[in-house]
Amino acid sequence: MEPGAGGNQLGLKHRIIPPLENDVPMHRDRVGESSGSEKITRAIFIFEDPRVISLSLFERKIASGHALAITGTRPNHNNQLDRFLQEGIDSFRFSEQFANWSNAEIQRPYFRMLVRGSQFWDLLPVILSFAGLPENYQAEFPPKRARANRYDELDTKDKDRLDEIYRNLSSSIEGYPDCVII
């Protein structure tokens, strides 16, 4: 299976690299049919500190499925955080994914917006405008919910192990603007 194709080819969040404009899997309907004439005109990529994302995936018991969807390979951790931390490997390939999506040299004929997840609701008017949606759509949008930060709940040893996996990416994301259009 090709990296990024994974188990859910329809999800941009599962793409290691921004898809090509006429990427057929992005345009299949529920039964897998495509007219072949559709083109991607915009893409929104939501990013966040990978330590927070990975812990959320493990908490919800979907870490293995998410890694499989992104990479096309079932990870060894089997939804067990301790095994993931012992391996010390970014089995989600978040580092590569963020590097590709944020790299302006990877050109596509459509614009892509990168949005920090924690700022999503504050940036909603900008996001809706980018997506070509009317301003009044904001009233239909789900309300912002408080998010748990499982990282703060980890013991020092586990924090250190998670930091070791994602130190460089976390640092890059920390210094990245909340919203960018490429």
Q: Do 94 and 88 touch, CB atoms closer than 8 A? A: no
The reported pLDDT for the residue numbered 147 is: 83
Q: Does the pLDDT at position 3 exceed 50?
A: no
Share of the chain above pLDDT 70, in %: 86
The reported pLDDT for the residue numbered 39 is: 79
**Any idea what DSSP says for residue 5?**
T
Burial state string for 11-40 with b = 16 or more CB within 10 A and e = fewer than 16: ebebbbebbeeebeebbeeeeeeeeeeeeb
The reported pLDDT for the residue numbered 36 is: 55
pTM of the predicted model, to two decimals? Answer: 0.86
Helix axes 63-71, 50-59, angle to 10 degrees: 120
Helix axes 94-101, 156-174, angle to 10 degrees: 10
Choice between 23 and 61, residue whose per-residue pLDDT is larger: 61
The reported pLDDT for the residue numbered 114 is: 98
Task: Report residue 43: phi and psi, to 5°.
Answer: -140, 140
Encode pLDDT of 28-52 as tens digits: 554 455 555 567 889 999 999 999 9
Spatial distance between the Cα atoms of 17 and 26, rounded to a whole number of angstroms: 13
Mean of per-residue pLDDT scores for the chain: 88
Encode pLDDT of 144-175 as tens digits: 988 888 999 999 999 999 999 999 999 999 99
